[in-house]
Amino acid sequence: MAAHTFFFFIFLFTNFCLYSSPTTLALFSTYHPPICHDHEKSALLQFKDSFTIDEKWLVPCDPKFEAWKVDGGEEASDCCMWDGIECDDITGHVISLDLSSSCLLGSINSSSTLFQLLHLRSLNLAYNRFNYSSIPSALGLLPNLTHLNLSYSFFSGPIPSSISNLSKLSSLDLSTYYGSKLKTNPDFKTLIGKLGNLQVLHLDRVNMSSTVPNDILAISSSLVSLSLVECNLRGEFPFTRIFQLLPKLEDLLLDSNPNLTGDNPFGVQDTSLSWMGNLAKLTHLSLGGSNLVGEIPSSLANLTNHSVLDISSNQLTGNGSKIVV
Ligand SMILES: *[C@@H]1O[C@H](CO)[C@@H](O)[C@H](O)[C@H]1NC(C)=O
Ligand SMILES: *[C@@H]1O[C@H](CO)[C@@H](O)[C@H](O)[C@H]1NC(C)=O
Ligand SMILES: *[C@@H]1O[C@H](CO)[C@@H](O)[C@H](O)[C@H]1NC(C)=O
Ligand SMILES: *[C@@H]1O[C@H](CO)[C@@H](O)[C@H](O)[C@H]1NC(C)=O
Ligand SMILES: *[C@@H]1O[C@H](CO)[C@@H](O)[C@H](O)[C@H]1NC(C)=O
Ligand SMILES: *[C@@H]1O[C@H](CO)[C@@H](O)[C@H](O)[C@H]1NC(C)=O
Ligand SMILES: *[C@@H]1O[C@H](CO)[C@@H](O)[C@H](O)[C@H]1NC(C)=O
Ligand SMILES: *[C@@H]1O[C@H](CO)[C@@H](O)[C@H](O)[C@H]1NC(C)=O
Ligand SMILES: *[C@@H]1O[C@H](CO)[C@@H](O)[C@H](O)[C@H]1NC(C)=O
Ligand SMILES: *[C@@H]1O[C@H](CO)[C@@H](O)[C@H](O)[C@H]1NC(C)=O
């Protein structure tokens, strides 16, 4: 066996030396990416078939399933060619599934065949209707997930702690509609504390009343975008420390948390405003409709890189006229 392999290698090698360029060219021009694996294809079809496709809904949606067939000719039978699917060029495994706004209606649980797609790196199921299912804890079994987007999809219940298993996660969007029943656990700190690569965290309208704002500080220092709009946050938000601990932060949105107070977000007492220096990267600061009290410092005007600044509906006073956004 070993000898056989050895001679085969010699054969390849001499061939390569003799016809180096043409062989290489031929290799590339006839290269076909691998077609999808049968078990992943059937997992996808069963996943799709576990839902009703309901196009009659207020929010426009577009089912991507025209080509999704067991047998639809050479091209259609390769699931890597289907709408919403991306496969790895070398292994042929499904690595990305984008079924956002695909008119899916129905429940989902951890037995779903979705969780057989073990190689997924990106999963987007935003803007479907999952009938107030819990977010399946089996998501914690997809070890290579870097992007998870389940926003505006009618999930309910607590965010499962298994999400903390997703150590490669860089973007998590679980934002939802007003009146949702999605909430964070009291151990939210443990959950996000393990997501060391997180850059984007959007949890708009997730009920975070059981989370102390200070727990946010457990988040990864690589965070770039944090959006916690209308999250029922209560208590003092650690503005001073967050800008020290999250030097890459560009977006901070905390609007409509009426019971949120600040440790002087604009540094009334801390006249040195040392944390302001850390705001240089901030391009979007939105704090409207919270209960922040204090005086807006004129130094805010120095933050020329703000593309959006909304500090309306707070009890802030001061020389706002100087602020040019
Ligand atoms: C939604 O869930 C309820 C019960 O939780 C069930 O009775 C109903 O059939 C489900 N609807 C769909 C479309 O799955
Ligand atoms: C999960 O959902 C499927 C249908 O999608 C259902 O047949 C099964 O009973 C559910 N399992 C659990 C544990 O609820
Ligand atoms: C996850 O990614 C690593 C590194 O890219 C790879 O070696 C491994 O096979 C992947 N695992 C799965 C289940 O795709
Ligand atoms: C976390 O991931 C490991 C390895 O992929 C797996 O064995 C374990 O069951 C997962 N835990 C949860 C809670 O999903
Ligand atoms: C989640 O998906 C929706 C729909 O595709 C998109 O609008 C939104 O920006 C995504 N969220 C993130 C954090 O990328
Ligand atoms: C948020 O969660 C708390 C505690 O879990 C609950 O008492 C409260 O009613 C919830 N708020 C909303 C708007 O659902
Ligand atoms: C804010 O706190 C007050 C008093 O504790 C409470 O009555 C009110 O419901 C809270 N509002 C929100 C949106 O949490
Ligand atoms: C504003 O942004 C530009 C480019 O994004 C950067 O070069 C510049 O240093 C920033 N200004 C400040 C005050 O940080
Ligand atoms: C704002 O910029 C002006 C002019 O560059 C500078 O004199 C002042 O110290 C700055 N203020 C703060 C708080 O950084
Ligand atoms: C506001 O700015 C103007 C012009 O720079 C200055 O004359 C005035 O004293 C400032 N008012 C306060 C309250 O800082």
Q: Give the number of whichever ligand sits closest to the CA of residue 296.
A: 10
Determine the distance separating the centroid of ligand 3 and the alpha carbon of 121, expressed in angstroms.
9
Q: What is the pLDDT of residue 242?
A: 83
Q: Which residue has its alpha carbon closest to ligand 3 atom 13?
A: 119
Q: Which residue has its alpha carbon closest to ligand 9 atom 14?
A: 299
CB within 8 A of 141, min separation 6: which ones?
115, 118, 162, 165
Cβ atoms 184, 160 nearer than 8 A: no
Q: How many C-beta atoms lie closer than 10 Å to residue 193's C-beta? A: 15
* Chain mean position to CA 231: 17
- CB 244 near ligand 2, within 6 Å: no
Return d(Cα 8, Cα 146) in angstroms, integer: 40
Determine the distance separating the centroid of ligand 2 and the alpha carbon of 314, expressed in angstroms.
47
Q: Give the number of whichever ligand sits closest to the CA of residue 320.
A: 10
- CB 46 near ligand 2, within 6 Å: no
- CB 315 near ligand 6, within 6 Å: no
Block residue for tokens 């390569």: 16
Pairing of strands 147-149, 122-124: parallel
- The CA–CA distances, whole Å, from 276 to 197, 238, 247, 280 equal 25, 14, 11, 8
Residue ranges of the chain with pLDDT lower than 50? 1-26, 267-273, 319-325
Q: Which helix (H) or strand (E) holds 50?
A: none
Q: What is the pLDDT of residue 289?
A: 79
Determine the distance separating the centroid of ligand 7 and the alpha carbon of 290, expressed in angstroms.
12
For the chain, give the percent of residues with pLDDT over 70.
Answer: 73
Instruction: State which ligand 5 atom lies nearest to the alpha carbon of 171.
Output: 13
- CB 111 near ligand 2, within 6 Å: yes
- Which amino acid, one-letter code, is at 131? N
Instruction: State which ligand 4 atom lies nearest to the alpha carbon of 138.
Output: 14
